[in-house]
């Protein structure tokens, strides 16, 4: 299984490095089409594979965070650091963007990608796994409050992250405790639904900070969990 999945992830490393269909070099695409290996899907654009009836489901960055976590896991299991190249290249892109942010970057450019990418969880898991402080500056800007607390020892980072969840859970308690919904839909209810109508906007709980404070993991349990407590 390791050999099979390692070969599969190698195709993602190669696709991220290339510039097919105008994709910025070093950025993971939205999809890799099978069987021809083309970047993207049946559509013309690398950021929109158009292979699903839900038109927004796979729009970039979509599930990119799952891919970067899987690349980290593959590198760990094989001992091959080359699987981390897409993670490193996107981290560098994010750092460049934060050094000179713009409110309206050119669509589909590196800056556009960097303004939208969510890579902090993978970098945080890498930090917990290896102790390497290479990405600490970026984590202090993008990671949740629990990770920032662990990096600095400043409890206020942790308290702020937990306060955010507490405030969110105090609002519309019935929706969290009485209505029947799929959990992921419920926990994103404010962001995806209620905030189309709410003024001021309702906060969303910081679930990764809450999970991290309970288990010690730097990120979610969805992929490559490293929870010290179960």
Average pLDDT over residues 194-223: 88
Q: What is the pLDDT of residues 91-112, one digit of tens each?
A: 999 999 999 999 899 999 999 9
Q: What is the pLDDT of residues 138-161, one digit of tens each?
A: 999 999 999 999 999 999 999 988
The residue extents of the domains of the chain are 1-143, 144-230
Would you list the DSSP string of 38-79? -BS-SSSBTTB---SSSTTTTSTTTTHHHHHHHHHHHHHHHT
Between 51 and 74, where is the model more confident?
Answer: 74
Q: What is the pLDDT of residues 9-60, one digit of tens each?
A: 999 999 999 999 999 999 999 999 988 888 988 888 999 998 877 778 888 9
Write down the pTM of the prediction: 0.89
182: CB partners within 8 A, 6+ apart: none
Do 183 and 214 meet the contact criterion of CB atoms below 8 Å apart? no
Q: What is the pLDDT of residues 157-208, one digit of tens each?
A: 999 889 988 988 888 887 778 776 666 677 778 888 888 998 989 888 888 8
Distances, alpha carbon 100 to alpha carbons 105, 126, 135, in Å: 11, 25, 18
């Amino acid at each position: 299984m390791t050999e099979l999945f390692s070969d599969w992830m190698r195709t993602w490393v190669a696709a991220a490095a290339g510039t097919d269909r105008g994709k910025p070099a070093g950025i993971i695409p939205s999809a890799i089409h099978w069987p021809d290996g083309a970047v993207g899907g049946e559509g013309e654009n690398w950021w929109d594979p158009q292979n699903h009836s839900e038109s927004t489901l796979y729009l970039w960055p979509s599930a990119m965070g799952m891919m970067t976590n899987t690349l980290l896991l593959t590198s760990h299991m094989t001992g091959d650091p080359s699987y981390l190249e897409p993670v490193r290249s996107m981290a560098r892109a994010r750092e460049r963007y934060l050094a000179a942010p713009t409110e309206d970057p050119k669509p589909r450019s590196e800056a556009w990608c960097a303004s939208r990418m969510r890579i902090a969880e993978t970098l945080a898991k890498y930090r917990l796994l290896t102790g390497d402080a290479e990405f600490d500056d970026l984590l202090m800007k993008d990671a949740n409050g629990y990770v920032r607390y662990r990096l600095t020892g400043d409890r206020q980072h942790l308290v702020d992250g937990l306060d955010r969840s507490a405030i969110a859970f105090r609002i519309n308690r019935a929706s969290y405790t009485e209505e029947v919904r799929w959990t992921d839909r419920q926990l994103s209810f404010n962001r995806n639904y209620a905030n189309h109508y709410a003024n001021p906007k309702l906060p969303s709980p910081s679930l990764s900070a809450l999970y991290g404070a309970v288990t010690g993991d730097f990120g979610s349990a969805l992929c490559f969990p490293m929870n010290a407590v179960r």
